Amino acid sequence: MNDVSKELLSLLDLEPLELNLFRGIGTGGETSTRIFGGHVIAQALAAAYRTVEERMCHSLHAYFVRPGDPSMPVVYQVDRTRDGGSFTTRRIVAVQNGKQILTMSASFHIQEEGWHHQHEMPSVAGPEGLLERAELRAGVADQLSEKHRDDFLRQRPIEVREIAPRDFFNPAPEDDVNHMWFRMPAAKGTDIAMQHCLLAYASDLNLLGSSLRPHGLSWFKKGVMSASLDHAMWFHAPVRFENWHLYTMDSPFSGGARGFNRGSVYTQEGALVASVAQEGLIRKYAPRN
């Protein structure tokens, strides 16, 4: 277990402040410049799970209101909207410095039997033999200024292996459909709630990039401003995120300075365990010289 994986597990163990009120730390994870969107979603889901017993989250719908400051803690307010016979609803507001940075609704369901079908997992190369993202980044880090290099190479908690990695800085236009394998070995032994929180964290990785692909854009290319606007997720089954999962993503539409993205998460054996949708800002701007 690497240090940042231990740190992420610790960050999702929120501090209770009062009934329905929790505090989380925003530092660590994917970037040092602002709180990673998946980080806030995962902590909001962890707060909601603290108020629910014996039910599994089946869906969440979140809006990113403001960027989060990683140097400050985040307070999560949970509203116990409804406790029904088979469904439980929670509304969570993430607050930092007196202002909302995220609002989220989450629904929880008792385990029931029912009819089952799913789309088949795409036939792609397995994770074995693919380069880990840390290796890919290390190979091109010399193209960055020293100012940005440390953040680019920072250790990250989720192991990611892309099927067909793109050029970080000058990608060619490509199809919007893309795939990656991801896992977090440190998830082993954690309960259903933590597993869901970890997958929620990871589900924000690379998803918005799907809408950049057809235009030959990336986060590192000058002239593009990007940010997640909202995030929806549906959990279809319990997760064992210490094992490899395939994240297959696409972007059916972009326009009006926004890109719409979808994702499906499969176990290595082919079971569909989660679905994701997200809209993000992809705005043109004139970079400063």
CATH number of the domain enclosing 172? 2.40.160.210
- 115 occurs within a structural domain: no
Alpha-carbon torsion, ordered 271, 85, 277, 134, to 10 deg: -60
Cα 27 from Cα 44, distance rounded (Å): 15
Strand partners, 223: none
Highest mean pLDDT among 124-138, 145-159, 162-176, 262-276: 262-276
Q: Which domain holds residue 220?
A: 3-110+131-284
- How many domains, the chain? 1
- 160 occurs within a structural domain: yes
Determine whether 13 is an active site residue.
Answer: no
Question: Out of 43, 228, 251, 264, which one is annotated catalytic?
Answer: 228
129 sits in the region (left: phi over 0; alpha: psi -120 to 50; else beta) called left
Q: What is the structure's pLDDT at 46?
A: 98
Q: What is the structure's pLDDT at 27?
A: 78
Cα 116 from Cα 130, distance rounded (Å): 32
Query: Is the pLDDT confidence value at 29 over 80?
Result: no
Determine whether 278 is an active site residue.
Answer: yes
Please, which pLDDT band fits residue 178 given cuts at 50, 70 and 90? Answer: very high
Determine whether 230 is an active site residue.
Answer: no
Share of the chain above pLDDT 90, in %: 81
Query: Is the pLDDT confidence value at 1 over 70?
Result: no
- 117 occurs within a structural domain: no
User: Please, what is the end-to-end C-alpha distance for the chain in angstroms?
Assistant: 42
Give, for 133, the enclosing helix (H) or strand (E): helix 133-140
Alpha-carbon torsion, ordered 261, 165, 219, 198, to 10 deg: 60
- 172 occurs within a structural domain: yes
Query: Is the pLDDT confidence value at 140 over 90?
Result: no
Q: What is the structure's pLDDT at 271?
A: 98
pLDDT 10s digits, 208-239:
999 999 999 988 888 888 999 999 999 999 99
Question: Quick one: 256 exposed, middle or buried, by C-beta within 10 A (0-12, 13-18, 19+)?
Answer: exposed
Q: Average per-residue pLDDT in the chain?
A: 94
Assign 255 to helix, strand or coil: strand
Cα 195 from Cα 22, distance rounded (Å): 19
- 258 occurs within a structural domain: yes
* Residue appearing with tokens 């459909």: 177
Q: What is the structure's pLDDT at 287?
A: 61
Buried b (16+ CB within 10 A) or exposed e, 242-253: eebbbbbbbbee
Assign 154 to helix, strand or coil: coil
- 123 occurs within a structural domain: no
Q: What is the structure's pLDDT at 154?
A: 83
Q: What is the structure's pLDDT at 103?
A: 98
- 121 occurs within a structural domain: no
234 sits in the region (left: phi over 0; alpha: psi -120 to 50; else beta) called beta
Question: Out of 195, 203, 204, 254, which one is annotated catalytic?
Answer: 204
- 120 occurs within a structural domain: no
pLDDT 10s digits, 270-281:
999 999 999 999
Strand partners, 259: 254, 280
* Residue appearing with tokens 């993205």: 261
For the whole model, what pTM was predicted? 0.95
